[in-house]
Structure 1
Amino acid sequence: MKRIGIFLILIALLSSSCKKEAYIFTSFHEPANEGLRMLYSEDAYHWKDLNKVLLAPTTGKQKVMRDPSIAQGPDGTFHLVWTSSWKGDLGFGYASSKDLIHWSEQQFIPAMANETSTVNVWAPEILYDKATKQFVIIWASCIPKRFEKGIEDEENNHRMYVTTTKDFKTFSPSRLFLDPNFSVIDAVIVPRKKDDYVLVLKDNTRPNRNIKVAFGKSATGEFSNVSEPFTKKFTEGPSVVRVGEEYLIYFDSYQSKTYEAMRTKDFKTFEDVSKIVSVPQGHKHGTILKVSKKVLKNLLSQP
């Protein structure tokens, strides 16, 4: 029996070492003026910091990089978008890379240029949608006096907007993506299977400020049936990764200054797994992406 146990352990270790993929978690550190950082993991539960800045921001009025979101296209190119200013910008930053080390010239995408009273463009999230063979980018913006509000200030009453592109040269006209009748930010689209998408979002209203989900049949909406919250108050910045048949939802519990996680199979029942994940201190809102071990190895080899 002891030999069998040892054999099983060896098989498990061999299986782990033979995995061809790893996970990266885009990140930034406050006050967000340094640029793109990354965490990495082999199991999506235990994360380590690369401890380097991969891309310094040069676009936007404030020239910061908050909420970096990344997606990989079918040709292998990585596409990065980010919040370039806390307020005052009518768009977001963009750059691309083949290896996450060498980056294109940064661009400013003026997504809300036709809405000049827009207060901000926050937390753009990018997804390559296989069903429509295009990139979908969503973000939160506040247009004062456009929507009904609760006790929030007019400049804190957000809704989600969307644009799509196939080449990052031409973009569909930006339009309203989600109006759940409350202030909403930090939304991320999760594809599950054909005609089945989940939207993980932050209810930014007072006194809620917690995370919920909604459901839709396409990446560009509509999303409906907004759930009750599955996190406590003062949580934001959800990031979702699929691990086997389960999904991990990481989020920033900003009042307690901890990074926590929930696990689910169906986005209806959630298990708190915060005690079995580890996230380096200082990590802030990003997205999680599977990459090849070669990509990670090259990142780790950089000075």
Structure 2
Amino acid sequence: MPRILARLSAVLAAACLLFTSWSVTAARPAAALDPFAGYLMAHFTGESANGEQIYLAHSTDGLHWTDLNNGSPVLLSTVGTRGVRDPVLVRSPAGDRYWIIATDLRIASGTSWNDAANRGSTSIVVWESTDLVNWSAPWLLNVAGGVAGAGNAWAPEAIYNPATGDYVVYWATNSARNGVTKHRIWYARTSDFRTVGTPQLYIDRGSGQGIIDTQIIEVPNSVGGYRYYRASADGHITIEASNSILGTWTTLGNLSHLGISNGTGGGNVVEGPMWAQFNGRDEWVLWVDQYATGRGYLPVTSPNLGSTGNFRTRSDYSMGGSRKRHGSILNLTAAEQSRVLARWGATTPVNRIQSYNYPDRYVRHADFDVRIDANVSPAQDAQFRLVPGLTGGSGHVSIESVNYPGHYLRHYAYDFELAPDDGSAVFAADATFRRVAGLADAGWSSFQSYNFPDRYVRHYGYQLRLDPITDAQARADATFRVTG
């Protein structure tokens, strides 16, 4: 009996400890369950040198957007094609994990659309985070590898499916099926975005009609009669509804009554439908990208998604400084919003960099070469932001172009150029400097190389170089004033 009592006592003690631990953990509400306070948009900007990377924008009302990180990309793909399009933000149901998934495609590298569609990547790019601001290195997830004859994997999306307790990833793949080659939507299931199940056909419009862009939103309380709504660019912008992500979908109509189509109906031709619910109320917005005219995203709002007759276009909106291309919107809790704005919300002042011994001349880029000139036109060619160094920690800076966000002054063979950040350690080192007291005048500044600390930024024949400084002339050439 004493032995039995001892065992019982140990079990009860362990149970109490487990209950106490569980209670402490359970008492903290998941961030995703807190009231929403703002909005975060992930997007790309186009086919420029750094346009096919991850950009973020923030809004407090869901209609007026401010570019984060001074309009520069916040994440760069270093895998696959080294470019990404169509980024999607995914939050776990508990609010303790986030993913960004995106198309592995970089048209700016010279890839043709035909090659990209028929001989492109069958993988998507994935990043992971536990706080929405510190992200893992990217990896490739081969979602379409199991589709016979797959030419690509474009415009990926993901949504948590409570019916199966995992995520449904869906995307467009161009392949032959029943003698017809076109883009169809496929899906697969994943629990961690590192492994994925066998792809299954999800949407096929029949005949020769292809479909690339589609996005699902879950609607609380099934306003309009359904739990899920889907917008697809399939010639029109077709709205469908269902009570099950992998169940039967009912077609509700399209946006043709607003003069909006994906080409079949003419009018305002758009793509990239992007859903969001306005915080704190039963009203939704479907953003559509007016790519045919280059006007960017247009909001179409509705208080009830159960009928397309409820949709109306809006004019009271602003997209910020950069063009937003196909992306996604995540409603933010106050805690999430605070973290995001603390990391990327501050605006770094715009400066010019004035020569000490040629005070009428300023550092500027011209055809991506770097020199000092007077009377710079356009003025933005001589405007930069001194941002925290891409490497090196406190006291180091990198010099980012204002009119080419994501492009930095970097030395290459001791000459200077304006180049897009490629995410490599070499680039970060070449584009990082320690700002020190001016070598010719302590009231001015000089810039010491991070990876060649015996060399400084200086001009020679009006061209910027990275040189050792050995005499008074060189000290004057290596001294600058950072001015507004």
**Same-fold status (TM-score > 0.5):** yes
1:184 maps to: 211
CA RMSD of aligned residues (A): 2.2
Structure 2: any 5+ residue segments left out of the alignment?
1-34, 106-115, 345-484
Q: Which amino acid aligns with 1:261?
A: P
Candidates 197, 214, 237, aligned match of 2:228: 197
Which structure 2 residues correspond to residues 109-148 of structure 1 after superposition, within 5 A?
109-115=141-147, 117-144=149-176, 146-147=177-178
Q: Of the two, which has the highest radius of gyration?
A: 2
Q: Deviations for 1:98-130, whole angstroms, at most 9, x for unmatched residues?
A: 223221121111111123521221100111234
Q: CA 1:214–1:164 in 2, change beyond 3 Å: closer, same or farther?
A: same
Indicate yes or no: 2:57 matched with 1:36: no
Candidates 266, 271, 288, aligned match of 2:305: 266
SS in 1 for 2:335: helix
SS in 1 for 2:131: coil
SS in 2 for 1:143: strand
Displacement, 1:33? 5.6
Is the 8 Å Cα contact of residues 81 and 124 (structure 1) preserved in structure 2? yes
**d(CA) in 1 for partners of 2:132, 2:178:** 39
Q: Which amino acid aligns with 2:37?
A: E
**d(CA) in 2 for partners of 1:294, 1:52:** 23
Indicate yes or no: 2:328 matched with 1:287: yes
SS in 1 for 2:213: strand
**d(CA) in 2 for partners of 1:32, 1:296:** 29
2:242 maps to: 216
**d(CA) in 2 for partners of 1:70, 1:119:** 25
Indicate yes or no: 2:212 matched with 1:175: no
2:43 maps to: 27
Displacement, 1:24? 0.5
Q: Percent identity?
A: 23
**d(CA) in 2 for partners of 1:58, 1:116:** 27
Q: Deviations for 1:59-94, whole angstroms, at most 9, x for unmatched residues?
A: 22x221100001100342111110002441112111
Is the 8 Å Cα contact of residues 177 and 222 (structure 1) preserved in structure 2? no
Displacement, 1:285? 0.8
The structure that is helix-richer by fraction is: 2
Is the 8 Å Cα contact of residues 166 and 190 (structure 2) preserved in structure 1? yes
Displacement, 1:200? 0.7
Indicate yes or no: 2:185 matched with 1:160: yes
SS in 2 for 1:68: strand
Q: Which amino acid aligns with 2:136?
A: S
Aligned length: 272
1:8 maps to: none
**d(CA) in 2 for partners of 1:163, 1:100:** 25
Is the 8 Å Cα contact of residues 236 and 254 (structure 2) preserved in structure 1? no
Displacement, 1:235? 0.7
Candidates 72, 90, 93, aligned match of 2:122: 90
Is the 8 Å Cα contact of residues 33 and 57 (structure 1) preserved in structure 2? no
**d(CA) in 2 for partners of 1:235, 1:199:** 16
**d(CA) in 1 for partners of 2:178, 2:283:** 36
1:73 maps to: 92
Is the 8 Å Cα contact of residues 33 and 63 (structure 1) preserved in structure 2? no
Indicate yes or no: 2:248 matched with 1:248: no
Displacement, 1:135? 1.4
Displacement, 1:37? 0.6
Is the 8 Å Cα contact of residues 65 and 82 (structure 1) preserved in structure 2? yes
Runs (4+) of structure 1 moved beyond 3 Å?
none
